[in-house]
């Protein structure tokens, strides 16, 4: 597997870590704190990463589950995962200054849901029950959206044969499993229409492709990411399916266990789309201290996507500098 001159090595997947939507959302909260001062309220976790949430809390962000926890007249940021229309209405009713940090790629799926509902379609939404993104998308057209989580559910869901059907998906799913789910649906409902463009986001696809490129050469693949991060959890599954002997997800180096690496010569390393690079570097240092000093970055694509900050925030930032 490896040459004698390099008995222990780390294959570092690229791209990894922050995507454009996460960078935009975190920067939104940081800038809101700078402009308006603490506290800034954030509905749900701005992104699904414990380290990021704790860092923002230390600066004065207060994370809440629902808007009734936000004092009237306060500033609230909506997370990158998106919200249902009723949340926007509630914010207005409570006199809140709302800044929408929903990832533009999630906003695209919301727009598709509204469009196809208006066109008379029943919508099959492929995603995970309870995930904030799924709840937000479902809220756009709750009467016509049916959630399907996997190929097993696709095999049993029922629709009338004469119904206009289209599928949409959560942006952070496993590419392969989504295709498998769609295949089952299309075999049962030949009239099922695909969305005009892929819903699974570029960053999710790129991180999965990067892990696939290294997995077969790895005894162990470490994925840095939080347990509620859908795309991080998927990376663990993708690594094993692509040939890694085993894979573990950790929030940071403090969760690594020596026993995982006892017989390993090659360790793969990546991180989910909401993970700051500092956490990956901590893992690299931990591994180097245990003999895995040779780090080779394996790049499958270079990401250049950048999203503008929310317009309401940009307006206030511009006013402050004038």
Q: Which residues, 6+ apart, have CB-to-CB distance to 68 below 8 Å? A: 94
If phi over 0 gives left and psi between -120 and 50 gives alpha, with beta otherwise, what is residue 37?
left
Q: Which residues, 6+ apart, have CB-to-CB distance to 294 below 8 Å? A: 6, 8, 9, 10
Which residues belong to the active site? 133
What does pTM read for this prediction? 0.93
Decide if 273 contacts 203 (C-beta within 8 A): yes
Distance CA 289, CA 285 (A): 6
Percent helix, strand, coil in the chain, to 5, is 40, 20, 40
* 266 DSSP β-pair partners: 9
In terms of Cα–Cα distance, which of 78, 142, 79, 149 is closest to 113? Answer: 142
Q: Which tokens is 178 given?
A: 């989504």
Q: Which tokens is 146 given?
A: 């049916």
First to last CA, the chain: 60
Q: Cα–chain-centroid distance for residue 5? A: 38
Q: Which tokens is 131 given?
A: 């995930």
Strands 145-148, 165-169: pairing is unpaired
Cis peptide before 39 (omega within 30 of 0): yes
Distance CA 196, CA 95 (A): 37
Residues in the chain, total = 322
pLDDT value at position 120? 98
Coil, strand, or helix at residue 277? helix
Per-residue pLDDT in tens (0 to 9) along the chain, 322 residues = 444 445 899 999 999 999 999 999 999 999 999 999 999 999 999 999 999 999 999 999 999 999 999 999 999 999 999 999 999 999 999 999 999 999 999 999 999 999 999 999 999 999 999 999 999 999 999 999 999 999 999 999 999 988 999 999 999 999 999 999 999 999 999 999 999 988 999 999 999 999 999 999 999 999 999 999 999 999 999 999 999 999 999 999 999 999 999 999 999 999 999 999 999 999 999 999 999 999 999 999 999 999 999 999 999 999 888 7
Say how many CA atoms lie within 13 Å of 236 toward its Cβ. 16
């Amino acid at each position: 597997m490896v040459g004698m001159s390099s008995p222990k090595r780390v294959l570092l997947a690229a791209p990894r870590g922050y995507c454009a939507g996460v960078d935009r959302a975190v920067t939104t909260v940081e800038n809101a704190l700078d402009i308006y001062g603490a506290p800034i309220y954030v509905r749900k976790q701005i992104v699904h990463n414990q380290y990021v949430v704790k860092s923002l809390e230390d600066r004065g962000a207060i994370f809440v589950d629902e808007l009734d926890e936000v004092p009237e007249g306060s500033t609230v940021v909506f997370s990158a995962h998106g919200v249902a229309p009723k949340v926007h209405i509630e914010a207005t009713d409570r006199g809140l200054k709302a800044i929408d940090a929903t990832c533009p790629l999630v906003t695209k799926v919301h727009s598709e849901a509204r469009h196809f509902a208006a066109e008379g379609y029943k919508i099959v939404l492929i995603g995970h029950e309870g995930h904030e993104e799924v709840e937000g998308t479902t809220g756009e057209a709750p009467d016509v959206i049916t959630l399907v989580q996997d190929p097993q559910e696709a095999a049993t869901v029922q629709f009338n044969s004469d119904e206009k059907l289209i599928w949409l998906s959560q942006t952070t799913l496993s590419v392969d499993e989504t295709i498998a789910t769609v295949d089952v649906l299309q075999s049962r409902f030949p009239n099922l229409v695909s969305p005009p463009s892929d819903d699974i986001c570029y960053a999710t696809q790129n991180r999965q492709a990067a892990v696939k490129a290294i997995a077969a050469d790895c005894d162990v693949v470490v994925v840095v990411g939080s347990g509620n991060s859908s795309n991080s959890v998927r990376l663990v599954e993708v690594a094993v399916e692509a040939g890694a002997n085993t894979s573990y997800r950790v929030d940071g180096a403090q969760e690594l266990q020596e026993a995982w690496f006892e017989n390993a010569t090659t360790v793969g390393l990546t991180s989910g789309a909401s993970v700051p690079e500092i956490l990956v570097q901590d893992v690299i240092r931990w591994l180097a201290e245990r003999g895995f000093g040779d780090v080779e970055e394996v790049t499958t694509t270079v990401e250049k996507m950048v999203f503008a900050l929310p317009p309401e925030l940009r307006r206030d930032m511009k006013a402050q500098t004038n």
